[in-house]
Amino acid sequence: MIFTDLQLQIRDAARAFAQKEIVPHAAEWDRTCTVPVHVLRAMGPLGLMGMCVAPEWGGAGADMVSYALAVEEIAAGDCGLCNTDAAALTTRAVKKGERWVIEGTKQFITAGRSADLAFIVALTDPQAGKRGMSMFVAPTKSPGYRVAREEAKLGHRAADTCQIALEGLEVPEQDMLGVPGAGYRIALAYLENGRIGVAAQAVGVARAAFEAALRYAREREAFGKPIIDHQAIGFKLAEMATTLEAARQLVLHAASLKDAGEPCLKEASMAKLLASETAERICSDAIQIHGGYGYLNDFPVEKYWRDARVLSIYEGTNEIQRLVIGRALEG
């Protein structure tokens, strides 16, 4: 795929930021389960927050291809941090008069301990089922909003995942997002964007694992030569590089369809399916190439695998992606 000058500038800016501000600290954040809020805030002046938000609301007005390129770079630095940042790349909640609206393309965010604003889906008409669900915007400092527990996770430790308790939380009617009964539709809107984002994250963490394995294979010697010169390792790296590029191109294809205003739910699901499973396989192969060292946290590849594992679960499990693709094929 040939990129525009602006897309290349966005990719390079995200890469430079990730390599300078994220990569040197990612292992420590993982060990201490630290959410580096200061790093997230530093992305704003670079245009890496609200990237796809319209300029009149403080965003960059970038396209989905640029978004996918930026997500890949941030995820290559730390996939957990990218998980927190990915929604902010495309979303901003704004108040127009007395009404809250979401500007951008990804319309549903779950709140963690570090969030200032929560989007809450609540049943406002029990008789109407899913048509009776509405969405509200609530500051997390509101009385009745409580973080009940912060979850301990296998990976993505630079992003907090919390159980939220709503205990007598009162939300004014004017803080409803959209209209009554629109919560379910809002929560499921623009699924393509979320799946493209997760697929781009997968490409990013897979690329980081591949590059680590390639460096190690060039440096590590066995039987008098670098292990990359042994056919077993050379072939494994060749396959990793090929499947990585295939996943990346599928992500970019879905993103370009989105930019063109074309339906792309099937393509976004394909990208998410292939990229997430490719990421787990590449990260596992990277551990294998490192041998016993790959199992130690002295090297980054074990973290890459832990971070990659969830990508086939959230934003719709890969079983759901296969279901979506299958239904599309049925016509």
CATH number at residue 322: 1.20.140.10
CA 118 to chain centre: 18
Dihedral, CA of residue 267, residue 239, residue 308 and residue 39, to nearest 10: -90
Mean pLDDT lowest for which of 32-41, 230-239, 316-325?
32-41
Residues 14 and 92 in one domain: yes
Instruction: Verify whether residue 211 is a known catalytic residue.
Output: no
Cβ 308 vs Cβ 279: under 8 Å: yes
Q: What is the CATH number of the domain that holds 136?
A: 2.40.110.10
Single residue among 165, 187, 209 that ends a domain in this structure:
187
Q: How many CB atoms lie within 10 A of CB 163?
A: 10
| 224 and 165 in a common domain | no
Q: Count CB atoms within 10 A of the CB of residue 112.
A: 19
Per-residue pLDDT at 104:
41
- pLDDT tens profile 47-90: 888 788 778 777 788 999 999 999 999 999 999 999 887 655 55
Judgement on whether residues 150 and 240 belong to the same structural domain of the protein = no
Q: Which one of 73, 103, 302, 315 is the catalytic residue? A: 315
Residue 108: pLDDT band with limits 50, 70, 90: very low
Q: Are 113 and 150 in contact (CB under 8 A)?
A: yes
Residues 275 and 179 in one domain: no
31-45, 92-106, 116-130, 204-218: range with lowest mean pLDDT: 92-106
Angle CA 103–53–78, to nearest 5? 110
Which among 187, 208, 241 is the end of a domain? 187
Residue 244 is part of which domain span? 190-330
Q: What is the pLDDT of residue 305?
A: 98
Quick one: 61 and 137 in the same domain?
yes
Residue 100 confidence (pLDDT) above 80: no
User: Does the model's pTM come out above 0.85?
Assistant: yes
Using the Cα atoms of residue 89, residue 95, residue 96 and residue 100 in order, give the sign of their dihedral: positive
Q: Is residue 199 located within the same domain as residue 178? A: no
134 with 120: CB under 8 angstroms? Answer: no
Given 161, 187, 213, which residue is the final one in a domain? 187
Spatial distance between the Cα atoms of 44 and 68, rounded to a whole number of angstroms: 17
CB crowding 176-209: b at 16 or more within 10 Å, else e? bbbeebbbbebeebbbbbbbbbbbbbbbbbbbbb
How many structural domains are present in the chain?
2
User: Which residue did the predictor score with more confidence, 94 or 30?
Assistant: 30
